[in-house]
Chains A and B, each alone.
Chain A
């Protein structure tokens, strides 16, 4: 039976170190399976978050050989045989224990964003929206809230601007609301002042790590930045649009 060695970060906010564990592996195993074998065979108190184990819930976010990944979607056979796999917690959020970090800041951001404010229903009590008008919104709604984009965003990771910028995950939350055909609210002023759209300088790191392959930067953040620019840096065009028509979207 083949074996694999993992170097796993163990510790809490005060202290910690990498520890090595070797476990037997079967074909098809993913990094999260390796972590579970370590729990069963070596260290039952190893802390890790996980749920669906199929890339649908976004719980098992971790940094694998330095890259933000989902543990359940990272197969062991993508690494060279004999290569030690290093697993550590997300760096952008405060550590709780081992591979588990305190991601509650993200849930606070969601609360700050004004929710959908739908227009009235059609006369027959239904809403009508054409598929081509919701394709883009549906792309953003694929988000599983793994927060890997938040982890890799240098505004948050390196510059710690958590008080200034909501991060890529919530930029696409804003984008899906702003592009929603039923929505009547206006979040552009807040996007500029409170949610910090200007902080993103489009390095596309978030798009690269998205396990759902959402075009976060090109389809979500850039159009939102454009709306802010149109409104605040081209006020005449904005005024004309407001007076002479042109849809919100």
Chain B
């Protein structure tokens, strides 16, 4: 199949083009359209199917409805502590301040959260959050978010381009001025011209074998931004959610919500021991229960009691599970037990965790109201991503913005559960706002025909060549490399060996062969995503090798514990002029004094107003 002429390509012209239609993309598009921009929204799947739909627990916002002591400063402090102080201070501040108004806005657009007995939004406890803070709907909050934005968004005049995959960003000089994509249905190519482009493309879970992510999460945004000259940062921080399903094999990795633990679920090893009491880090010891009795009192609402250790941050819990299994105290299928059955009456479990009940019943033939679940870590989320300006979400490339999982900065070394959905709406809105501003003050650029032709050639080569490896098998080979070499516990020599294997694998990936025609061809789609997986995987591995310490979600057995020195740096990755990947650590700027004091304050000093009272 020969590529078409550039002038013959189907072309759409927008002021703002948003790539990705999960929570961040939809929110960005609603904002930009609301500001009078001609807005295009492109998504790989049907509208409403993006991974946001899988989020279960809730969205964090210091509304203070369930516990009036909550406010943005405590949320900000929790976020910084959870991120091991590697977050961008200003983003954590904006997020904590703006999340409540973004959540209220969702109600106006039709979201129906669970209610308190006073009729306000009920908030749920979650790991790392001092107070019950997560607005939620049972355990299907992501569905509520995406459907609310979708149902509101379809009335805002946004042009939605469904089942369309973007191949490359297009540039005019230094600026991004559009994108080239293809329709999955027909295999035909399509050109988008835009004054500003917003990437909301999610993560890169598909680089691992055990993941909660679907086929879509192949690091497209990271790779396209990288190729367009943008800087990536914090790539080494990949979050393994502590509780994925481990049995049966076909669902290994599927998410089990943290809400199970928030509602009282406990983790036990094969000896029946509630092992998390043995894994409480020093930093969290003053705020964590050290007896089962105290943990149980906390659950019943005793405000003097401290939180159960099952609700420590995800990195801590995931490492603890890994250790239990490694030391021979794992469950039958290589996980540990998560028990809610002995903690709550059956009817309450079904009411509070309906989709978990359903998921285990149908997929594992386990009744969670009577039996424990078997769970283990699963690659879930990427804290790292495209570097953005704190306030505007613009990347280091003019005209290119990013928000949501594909952007970096808010979560630092580890994300708190519930901070993702709020991230999407806070920074999705900001990206839409500032992309509109940029589009207002810039003209449409000029498309470089040569760049388009090269992208078309690369895409059609997979179909045209005589032979080559099956793209699905090639992708499985990558997943094996990343699982074995860049897993939850890392080591220098393993990472270096992984890099060598990745280089070899890249050669294989470039030779993949997609059979038959380009119409709805899953093999071709998979082949096209391999380049993006390769770039993201290489960046993650290099950054993991560079950071010689263990912090948050990044654990090095050869460099145990947090190193003070490394707390001063973020790791950056970009494409050099020679086409090779460059990497360096850069010193973090000193935060504003007031924010720093709140971040490091003792909780009692913050609550009494001794610290932070003068910060607006």
Interface residues of A (CB under 8 A from B): 12, 26-30, 33, 36, 39-40, 43-59, 73, 75, 96-98, 100, 102-104, 107, 110-111, 115-116, 118, 125-131, 134, 137-138, 141-145, 173, 177, 180, 182
Contacts and interface: CB of A to CB of B under 8 A. Distances in A.
Contacts of B219: none
B362 interface: yes
Contacts of B46: 49, 59, 103, 107
A26 B47 contact: no
Contact of B254 (A40, A43, A53, A126): A53
Contacts of B476: 40
A45 B522 contact: yes
9 contacts: A26-B248, A28-B249, A47-B520, A55-B363, A96-B520, A98-B520, A130-B115, A131-B115, A182-B107
Contacts of B551: none
Given A44-B514, A52-B54, A125 B49 contact: no
Q: Sorted from nearest, which 6 A-B pairs have the closest CB atoms? A: A28-B248, A44-B523, A128-B119, A47-B520, A116-B110, A40-B472
B155 A29 contact: no
Nearest to B253: A53
Given A26-B248, A130-B119, A44 B520 contact: no
Contact of B521 (A47, A110, A129): A47
B600 interface: no
A47 B144 CA distance: 29
A77 B578 CA distance: 54
B250 A28 contact: yes
Contacts of B162: 104, 107
Contacts of A53: 214, 251, 254
Given A26-B250, A56-B143, A51 B51 contact: yes
Contacts of B112: 129, 134, 137-138, 141, 180
Nearest to A44: B523
Interface of B: 45-51, 53-54, 104, 107-110, 112, 114-115, 117-120, 137-138, 140, 142-144, 147, 151-152, 154-155, 160, 162, 185, 214-216, 247-251, 254-255, 355, 358-359, 362-364, 470-473, 476, 514-517, 519-524, 526
Contacts of A55: 355, 358-359, 362-363
Given A50-B215, A131-B114, A40 B470 contact: yes
Contact of B115 (A45, A50, A103, A134): A134
B115 A129 contact: yes
Nearest to B44: A51
Given A52-B51, A57-B53, A142 B250 contact: no
A141 B359 contact: no
Given A39-B522, A39-B523, A28 B247 contact: yes
A182 B160 CA distance: 28
Nearest to A177: B110
Given A44-B470, A45-B524, A142 B119 contact: no
Given A56-B54, A107-B154, A142-B140, 13 more contacts: A28-B251, A36-B472, A44-B522, A45-B517, A50-B215, A52-B214, A54-B363, A57-B54, A103-B46, A111-B155, A126-B104, A129-B115, A173-B151
A52 B53 contact: yes
Contact of B154 (A28, A102, A110): A110
Contact of A54 (B54, B108, B147): B54
A142 to B, nearest CB: 7
Contacts of A51: 45, 49-51, 53, 214-216
A110 B162 CA distance: 15
Contacts of A129: 112, 115, 119
A6 to B, nearest CB: 15
A29 B250 contact: yes
A45 B523 contact: yes
Contacts of A58: 49
Nearest to B45: A51
B189 to A, nearest CB: 18
A45 B514 contact: yes
Nearest to A132: B115
A1 B505 CA distance: 29
B515 A44 contact: yes
A115 B214 contact: no
A111 B150 CA distance: 10
A111 B362 CA distance: 33
A54 B110 contact: no
A17 to B, nearest CB: 15
A97 B251 contact: no
